[in-house]
């Protein structure tokens, strides 16, 4: 399977998603928008994974490629391709399907629990969050996860597209990249942890990765529920 990674900044790559792809013998191919890569031909994409980034989906003036990216995502969903959106990627998925994206009540950065209603996830799981925006659910979407501060943490559209506001793919290396590039986001807040607390939480990544692998298996095979 040819898995296309839409990557918006150098420090938010596929991380544990690449581990899953390698274990399954899938081929990763990248569109790096920060290097002005062109969009691929739809026929060259078997599965689409849209990664995170510090920009807003509404920053089309500064990042004009966002318009075409959202159109590509909507087409991929409509054509039935497996689609996974992570953090900014989940917001782009929501926006591409007509939902509004806007600032959350408070930033949510750190290892905090979410409650799931999905057969690929445990009822409660502590995951890594790093976001300031949230979104409405697209029409017809099914809510899959919520946290105390963010109601819409995960959703699916049909059985082929899933958006995750949080980072199941986080690894020690990807966390360090986030802290180095976006450590200025770690201001005092009710739902913002320090760099030390983020590093201390990395043991949670193991169960998060196992959950991610189950989700990716479902997306790649028979669809999610």
Active site residues: 87, 167, 169
127 in Cβ contact with 87 (< 8 Å): no
47 in Cβ contact with 4 (< 8 Å): yes
**Whose CA is closest to 90, among 30, 26, 27, 168?**
168
**Whose CA is closest to 55, among 132, 154, 147, 138?**
132
Whole-number Å distance between alpha carbons of 82 and 139: 18
In a 3-state reduction of DSSP, which class is residue 104? strand
* Token pair 């930033």 in the structure block, residue: 107
């Amino acid at each position: 399977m040819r898995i296309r990674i839409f990557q918006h900044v150098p420090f938010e790559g596929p991380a544990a998603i690449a581990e899953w792809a390698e274990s399954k013998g899938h081929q990763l191919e990248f569109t790096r928008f920060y290097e002005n890569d062109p969009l691929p031909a739809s026929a060259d994409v078997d599965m689409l994974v849209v990664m995170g980034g510090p920009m807003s989906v509404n920053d089309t003036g500064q990042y004009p490629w966002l318009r075409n990216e959202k159109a590509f995502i909507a087409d991929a969903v409509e054509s039935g391709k497996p689609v996974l959106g992570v953090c900014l990627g989940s917001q782009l998925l929501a926006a591409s399907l007509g939902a509004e994206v806007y600032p959350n009540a408070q930033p949510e950065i750190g290892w905090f629990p979410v409650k799931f209603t999905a057969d690929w996830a445990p009822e409660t799981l502590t995951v890594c969050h790093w976001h300031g925006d949230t979104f409405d659910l697209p029409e017809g979407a099914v809510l899959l996860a919520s946290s105390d501060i963010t109601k819409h943490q995960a959703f699916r559209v049909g059985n082929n597209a899933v958006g995750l506001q949080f980072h199941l793919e986080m690894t020690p290396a990807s966390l360090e990249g986030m802290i180095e590039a976006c450590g200025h986001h770690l201001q005092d807040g009710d739902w913002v942890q320090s760099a030390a607390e983020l590093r201390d939480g990395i043991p949670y990544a193991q169960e998060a990765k196992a959950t991610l692998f189950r989700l990716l298996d479902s997306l790649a095979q028979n669809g999610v529920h």
